[in-house]
Amino acid sequence: MAPDRSERQGELERLERLGTLVNRYAQSRSLSLLIALAIVLINFALLLQMDKLIAWRIDRFLADDEIQQSEVEVRLELETRWVLAVVLLQVLFSIGSLWLAFKLAKRYGMSFYRADGVIELPRGRTPLIAWIVFLIVHTVPAALTEAEYLSNRWGLALILSVAGAFFIYLRNKERAVPLCLVLGGLLLLEAVAVASGIPTPFHSRSWDYSLAAAYVILFASAGLVTAVAVHIYNRRIWKRITQDRPFNE
Amino acid sequence: MSEPSAKHMNGLNRVIHEPVRLAILKVLSTAKEADFNFLLATLGLTKGNLATHINTLEAAAYIEVSKEFVGKMPHTTYRITRLGRREFEKHWKHLLEFAP
C-alpha cells in the first residue's frame, strides 16, 4: 500500500504543479498589450495634430485683416462652432479609439498564442468604483499642474505613481499578476526617477503638451518593456508545462 | 496516518478518480474555458484518448462542450460545470486526506 500511496502523492503534487503553471501561463500572455499601446500612441499623435489644426484655424481668423466689422460676430460664432465640433470629435475619437484598443486586444491579443491552444481565465472583478476613483485621482495631478499649483516634474511623478499603484492593485482583480506587477513596478520606478530630477522626455521644451507627451512616452516605454519581459516569462512557463506533462503518450 | 476506510474509498468519485480525467478537471478548474488543443498540449495525451475521457466527463455533466467554426475550422472549447467543480473539489479534498 505504501508505494501506491507515495505514487498517488507524487501524482497529486504533479497535478497541483500543473494547475499552478497553467494559471501562471494564462496570466502572463502579454503581447496583447502591444496592440493597446500602438492604438494609444496613434490616438495621442492624432489628438496633437487635431489640436494644432484648431490653433492654426484660430490664428488664421485672428490674422484676417480684411474681415469687415459687421462680419466679426458671425465669423466668431462660426469659428466657435467649428472649434466645438472639433473638440467633440476629439473626445469621441479618444473614447472610440480606447474602446477599439480594448476590443482589438481582447479579440486578437490571444492570436499571438494560437499555437499553444486557447485558455481563458474568468473575467476580471475590478469594481467600477475603483476605475472611477483611479480616473479622478489620476487626473487631479494633471489639473493641478495645469493650474500651476504643481511643477511638471511633481505632476508627472504623481500621475505615474498613481498609475503604478493602480496596476499593482489590479493584479489579482484582473487575474494578470505578472503583467500588473511588472508594469506597476516600472511605473513606480519611473515616478521615483522623475521625482528625483532625472530629465524626462520634452522636459526642456516649453510646450503645452510636454506633461502629457512625457507621460504617454514613459507609459508606452514601461508597457513595451513589460510586454517583452512578461512574454519571455510566459515562454519559460510554457516550456515547463510541456516538459512536465503528466502523460507523455 | 491510518489506511483509508472502505467508506472513504466508496466516497471517492469513480468518474473523477481516473488519472486522466482528474488531470483534465484540474486544468479546467483553473480556467473559465480551454480548447482541445490546449488540453492536448498540456496533458500530453493522444487525440483519441483525450476525446474518450472528455466524452465521459461530458456524459457525467462535469464539463460543458461548445463547438463553433473559426473560419472553416471547427473549434471546440470545454468548461467545467458547477456540478463538476463541486465534485472535483470534494474529490481533491478526499485525495489530500489520503495522502501521507
C-alpha distance from B3 to closest chain A C-alpha (Å): 9
Q: So what's the pLDDT on residue B25?
A: 95
A162 and A213 in a common domain: yes
Average pLDDT of the residues in A236-240: 95
Q: Is residue A227 in a domain?
A: yes
pLDDT score, position A39: 85
Q: Are A175 and A85 members of one domain?
A: no
Mean pLDDT, residues A195-220 taken together: 80
Distance from CA of B32 to the nearest CA of A (A): 5
Contact indicator for A186, A164 with CB cutoff of 8 Å: yes
Please tell me the predicted confidence (pLDDT) of residue A74: 76
Question: Minimal CA–CA distance to B83: which of B19, B23, B28, B18?
Answer: B28
The answer to whether position A103 is within a domain reads: yes
Inter-chain touch A120–B100, beta carbons under 8 Å: no
Q: Name the residue in chain A with its Cα closest to that of B92.
A: A12
pLDDT, one tens digit per residue, over B30-41 is: 999 999 999 999
Q: Does residue A140 lie within any of the structural domains?
A: yes
Domain count, chain A: 2
Boundary of a domain, candidates A53, A88, A120:
A120
Check CB contact under 8 Å for B35 and A118: yes
Q: What angle do CA B45, B48, B52 make, to 5 degrees?
A: 95
Q: What pLDDT does residue B5 have?
A: 44
Question: Which contiguous run of DSSP H or E holds residue A164?
Answer: helix A152-173
Residues A109-120, mean pLDDT to the nearest whole number: 86
Q: Is the pLDDT of residue B4 over 50?
A: no
pLDDT tens-digit readout, A120-141:
888 778 899 999 999 899 889 9
Claim to verify: residue A78 and residue A142 sit in the same structural domain: no
Q: Do A148 and A247 have their domain in common?
A: yes
For residue B66, list its beta bridge partners.
B77
Answer yes or no: do A78 and A168 share one domain.
no
Q: Report pLDDT digits (tens) over A2-52.
A: 557 777 788 889 999 999 999 999 999 999 889 888 888 888 888 888 878
pLDDT tens for residues A163-204? 999 999 999 888 899 999 999 999 999 999 999 988 877 766
Distance CA A154, CA A140 (A): 12
Q: Amino acid letter at B100? A: P
Q: Quickly name the fold that domain B6-95 has.
A: Arc Repressor Mutant, subunit A (1.10.10)
Separation of alpha carbons A196 and B97, rounded Å = 55
User: What is the pLDDT, as a whole number, of residue A233?
Assistant: 96
Phi-psi region of A117 (alpha: psi -120 to 50; beta: other; left: phi over 0): left
Torsion (CA) B66, B70, B73, B74 in degrees, nearest 10: 0
Q: What is the pLDDT of residues B42-97, one digit of tens each?
A: 999 999 999 999 999 999 999 999 999 888 888 899 999 999 999 999 998 888 88
Residue A7 maps to a domain? no
A26: chain B residues, CB-CB within 8 Å: 30-31
> Burial, A56: exposed, middle or buried (Cβ in 10 Å; 0-12, 13-18, 19+)?
exposed
Counting one residue from chain A and one from chain B, the pairs whose CB atoms sit within 8 A come to 91
Using only C-alpha atoms, chain A has a radius of gyration, in whole angstroms, of 25
Q: What is the pLDDT of residue A175?
A: 87
Question: Same domain for A99 and A199?
Answer: no
Q: Hey, CA dihedral for A30, A201, A135, A166, is it positive or negative?
A: positive
Q: How far is CA B64 from CA A76, B36, B60, in A?
A: 64, 12, 10
Give chain A positions within 8 Å (CB) of B93.
none
Spatial distance between the Cα atoms of A109 and A126, rounded to a whole number of angstroms: 20
Question: Is the domain of A129 the same as that of A154?
Answer: yes
With CB atoms and an 8 Å threshold, state whether B37 touches A249: no
A interface mutation test: which of B26, B30, B45, B65 has the most A CBs within 10 A?
B30
* Cell numbers describing residue A11: 501524482
Sheet holding B73-80, edge to edge: A119-120, B33-35, B73-80, B63-70
Q: Which of A232, A157, A160, A213 is nearest to A40 (CA)?
A: A213
> Which of the residues B26, B50, B80, B88 would you substitute to probe the A interface, choosing the one with the greatest number of A C-beta atoms within 10 Å?
B26
Q: Write down the ipTM of this complex.
A: 0.85
Q: Is residue A21 a part of any domain in this protein? A: no
Does a structural domain hold residue A228? yes
- B8 vs B88, residue with greater confidence: B88
Domain carrying residue A205: 124-249
Q: Do B26 and A19 touch (CB under 8 A)?
A: yes
Residues of A in contact with B32 (CB under 8 A): 120-123
Which residues from B are below 8 Å from A120, CB to CB?
31-34
Q: Is the pLDDT of residue B3 over 50?
A: no
Question: For residue range A58-84, what is the model confidence (pLDDT) as tens digits?
Answer: 777 777 777 666 677 777 777 788 878
